[in-house]
Structure formats: structure tokens, C-alpha cells
Chains A and B, each alone.
Chain A
Amino acid sequence: MADIRREYDMGSEVVRALRGVDITIEVNEFVAIMGSSGSGKSTLMNLIGCLDQPTGGEYRLNGERVSELDDVELARIRNREIGFVFQTFNLLARSTALHNVELPLVYAGVGRKERRRRSEETLEKVGLSDRMRHRPNELSGGQRQRVAVARALVTKPSLLLADEPTGNLDSTTSQEIMALFEALHRSGQTIVVVTHNPEVADHADRQIHLVDGSVERDVRTEGSA
């Protein structure tokens, strides 16, 4: 990721959310992005996750230039390479947990039986095997976020992205979610997580601090792994 810029043209003024960010994330890293509110963390995450396009700079994912891809190729990357966990869960409210988790596999073209099997397996992994037929409004916040994590993981993406995954959760459930991330990292998953909670960041083995759309500090920590 080189000299990434993202500017929002608000008509009267241009909001420069990212002012040239250079970072490289290696396979198997567990990275925490930190910074105060409005520093551009979410903007950066959305660009990494191909949910948004930069207004300048170059982004390569596994060697592919993302800005040159068309709708179909971008859809494939979001589907296969990236699993995104949102702060606000973004589950389909009227579908069951199981169906929410199955969704990425539908777009991946996985057959019905295989889909069902892999979704159940992934939900089991996040500890929700007894809540599969529940709708999001019948689940607690922590459970919803675990459904979202299962949905992000079900296609076995090369990169797991989480934008303040614990932002809407209490400290106990936050602990549970972070423990889950740590376990995933130990099993080889590359993870980027946005947080402003230092306790959460301590789980990571690299911390990137953003200030006003620029990288201020990029430090390796011991991590807990």
C-alpha cells in the first residue's frame, strides 16, 4: 500500500481523510490500527477491504493492483480474499444466523449442502452451534458479532479485517471476541483490527498509530503470541 490518499469532496471544502499512507502487511501478521476518532482508521480499513476506492496512490493485494479491477473482480476479492467485521455487525436482520453465514458461500458458488456444512462448522468454531436458527434480534451483541466473525471467516479469506469489533460490546464480551481473534491468529490467520482500546491492541504483534490521516508510529510489539 503506497502513498494512499482518500479525499472527500464536500463541495465547499475537501476533507483529506488520508494524506499519503504507506504500509505493508505481511501474511500471518496481527496488526492493530490505532488513533483518535476521526484520524482515518475506518477510511483506511474500507480501502484495504476493497469496500472503497482511494483517490490517489496504489494498493496491491497479493500482487494485484486493486484500482485496475472491475466490479466482478472486486466482488471476487471481497468474497475470497477478505473477511470484514463491522463495528455495527451489518447482519441481514430478517435472516437466521446460519443464513447470514452462508451468504458469502452463495456468492462463491458453493453448493447447498457444502454451504450448510461449512457454515455450521464455522459457527461451531465461534461457539454458536446452539444459536444457528436465531435471527440477529434474538441474539446478544456478543453473539451477533460472533455471527459476523463466522461470516467473515467462512470463505477462509487471506485477510480478516475488523473495524472496532468490540466498540459496541461490554468488556467481558470484548475479551471473548479478542480471545477468538488471538486463537485465529495462532492458527495462521492474517488479521488487521481497528481499535482505540490499548488493552485490545496489546493482543496484536504490530501497532500502527494514525494521526490526522498519516502514519505517526508503526511499532512491533511482543504481542501475546
Chain B
Amino acid sequence: MQIGEILAVAFQSILANKLRAALTMLGIIIGIAAVVTVVALGTGAQRAIDARISALGARLLSIYPGQSYQHGIASGERVTLRTLDAEALTRDARLLDGVLPEIVRSVQVKYGNQNINTRVIGTTPNYDDVRNYTLRAGRMFTAGDGEARRRYAVLGHAVPGMLEASATEMLGQRVFVRGIPFEIIGIFAEKGSEGSWRNPDEQVVIPLQTAQFRVFGTDRLRSITVRVVEGVPLEQGMVDVERVLRREHGIRPGEDNDFRLRNRQELLNTQQATAQVFSYLLASIAGVSLLVGGIGIMNIMLVSVTERTREIGIRKALGATRTNILMQFLVEAIVLCLVGGVLGIALGSSGAVALSRIAGWNTFISFGAIVLAVAFSAGVGIFFGLWPAWRAASLNPIDALRYE
């Protein structure tokens, strides 16, 4: 029998049994659609977290003031982190490409007759680069602005709203920080919550020297954030920071650090682990759907076996060989799985797209999930389609005809 005839027989049989074909396909469609949608959700969530991690700066280390130790005993005196330390890091560290000292105070900020209390950060001009801010309007202050201790301020995205003014109107105007007038030279674009309790858009950024000499009168830093050169492991960056700061602080070998080093990655790992649990959960839901779909396929294949055994008996009595029968059933199963698979992928993908549109969830349609789901459904369909057919085709025609 030629391939054309085999196909014709298989198609005729499918068309003659539309309900059975539809039910089989339904199992395949449900299984595949569920897997595609659910895995798209899981992958999307994972990717969103990965993206957030790189936005937050996976290469950033934070240095905080610590406790000083003498002969292993805390001295009680709190050692400070000073602007000099930041200068030393900029000068001597070899594995860093960004050093960001920050003096931070929560103070009164006044604009017109509006009065708020918010964070004011004295820092260096590379703030936007290291912290991943972009400017929505105006400009960032320069190193020259800092040296000249100019009273320039760059506002966070949320600040104009807090002061009940519009961003465009504020640019070039004066804002009072602790009663000292500052010119607004720039406004940041929205950064959005990073999952931290602090809103990164509710702050005012001013030059470090201005903060140090004109506003706060201190060189004590809340922290220094450093960025490790791309491709260098964070651990090496940490060693580099320790080397420079220990020398700067005159700490002898064997003595403990008088500063704390925090790796942002550690914080984020927790989030990532949570996301992983979430995606395992989703994957197991997908697995169950696939199983249910598979059982559906299996059922309909096995339930139709009586009818099909008689059909096989009739076909054999009329001159079909075992191979003819098997080919017919194989082609039938493959066609059903292909059509069902395509419909399932289409349905699952539109489900994923709909979820991301309507619910605003991140979704990502994973090729691997599609392959897995199709392979599983097709495997079940073909196995449970072919196995009874093979058994029936091996019988004497009369036994197949007598089957009940």
C-alpha cells in the first residue's frame, strides 16, 4: 500500500469518527496548553527577577561603618567611614570601576510654600551611573560643581509630586534644603520600587562637597557603594576593598575589619530562591495538567478499543496486513497529536499573552516546555493508540471480529 493510500485511510477513519478524534485532541490540547501557559508564567517571573537583579546591580558592594576592635575586644568607639576612604578606594583599588560615597540625612525640603521631610544624599557625579538612574530632565552635577561646592540639586522622580509642583515648572527654580537655597538642575526618571522599603524616587541628590561643607558639616559617610569591574567575581572585589581600607585604617594583620562589607547579591539570592519555589510549584501544576491530559488521551484510546478491534477484524478479513493496520493507526495518532499539539500551543501561548496583558504578569513562552509537552502527549497518544491496535492486528481476524 502506498503512503498516499495509508494517509487516505487514516484521514477517512478520523473524519468518520469526529467525536472520538475531537476527544483525543482535547486531551492533547489541554495538556499542552496548560504546560505552555504555566511554564510561560514561571519563566516570566524568573526572568523578571533576573532583570531586577541586574538593574539593582549585581556587581555592587556596599561598605558600612563598623566596630573597631582592639586585641579582639570591641573598643566601644564607633569608627566612621569618611570621604577620605572613598578617595583612597578611587585611587588605589584595582578591581573597581565606580566608587560612590554617600552622606545621607533626612531633612526638611521646602519649595514655594510646600514643606516636606525627605532624604537628601550628598554624593559624587557618578551616582546616576552606578545606581542606574536616568535623567528625565536637566542634567547631573559635574565634578567641577562639587569642587566649587555649588548648591545644585537633582530631584528624584516623586519629589515634584510631593511638593505639589510639576517637574517642568521646577527645573531652574529654587528649593530650600534645611533653609539653604539650591538650584534644581535635573530631575531623575522613575526608577520604581526595587523591592526595598525605601522608595528610590523620593530623594534629593546634591554634590558631596556641598553636603559636607555647606549643609551637614560632616565628612562621615553613611556608606560607600562600589562597583566591581565587569567579569570579575564579587569575592575578588571584596578582597580588593578590604586591602585598601585596612591599610587606610591602619589595621594590623590578625585584627578584624572596622567596617562591614555587604554583597547585594546575597540579598537577592533570597528573592531568587523564592522565585524558584514558585516556578517549581507552577511546573508541578503543569505536570499534573499534562498527566490529566495524558490520562484523557489514554482513556479515549482504550475505550474505543472494542469498536476498533472489530474494525481491525473487518479490515483484516478484507485483506489488510498487520503492517497496513499499524500504519493506519500510527498515522491517525500522529495526525491527531500534531493537530492537537498545534492547537494546544496556540491556545497556551494566547493564554500566556492574555495573562501578561490583562493581569500584567511577566510571561515568557519557553521552547523547551513546548517540546516537552508535545513529546509527552504524542508519546501517550501514540502508545495507547498503537498498543491495542498492535494486539488486535496480531489476532486471527475471526477473534478480532468476535471481540467484545
Contacts and interface: CB of A to CB of B under 8 A. Distances in A.
A133 interface: no
Interface in B380-402: 396-399, 401
A95 B324 contact: no
Contacts of B2: 109
Interface in B320-338: 320-324
A51 B402 CA distance: 11
A76 B16 CA distance: 26
Contacts of A91: 314
Q: Which of B323, B397, B401 has the most chain A CB atoms closer than 10 A to its own CB?
A: B397
B319 interface: yes
Contacts of A119: none
B321 to A, nearest CB: 4
Interface centre among A51, A72, A109 (most CB of B within 10 A): A51
Contact of B397 (A72, A78, A92, A155): A78
A71 B322 contact: yes
A99 interface: yes
Given A52-B398, A106-B1, A106-B5, A75 B16 contact: no
B16 A107 contact: no
Given A51-B396, A90-B314, A106 B322 contact: no
Interface string A56-80: 0000000000000001100110111
Contact of B317 (A71, A78, A109): A78
A181 B206 CA distance: 110
A71 B321 contact: yes
Interface residues of A, number: 28
Interface in B201-255: none
Contact of A103 (B1, B313, B315): B315
B396 A75 contact: no
A134 interface: no
B318 A103 contact: yes
Contacts of B401: 51, 86, 90
Interface in A8-27: none
B317 A51 contact: yes
A146 interface: no
A213 interface: no
Nearest to B5: A106
Category for how many chain B residues contact A? 20 to 34
B12 interface: yes
Nearest to A46: B398
B16 A94 contact: yes
B332 to A, nearest CB: 14
B17 A106 contact: no
A151 B396 contact: no
A35 interface: no
A53 interface: yes
A52 B396 contact: yes
Given A92-B311, A95-B16, A109-B1, A104 B318 contact: yes
B17 A107 contact: no
Interface centre among B1, B2, B8, B321 (most CB of A within 10 A): B321
B58 interface: no
Contact of B319 (A46, A76, A95): A76
Interface of B: 1-2, 5, 8-9, 12, 16-17, 310-311, 313-324, 396-399, 401
22 contacts: A49-B317, A51-B398, A52-B396, A52-B398, A52-B399, A71-B321, A72-B323, A75-B321, A78-B317, A78-B318, A78-B397, A90-B310, A90-B317, A90-B401, A92-B16, A94-B17, A103-B315, A104-B318, A107-B1, A107-B315, A107-B319, A107-B324
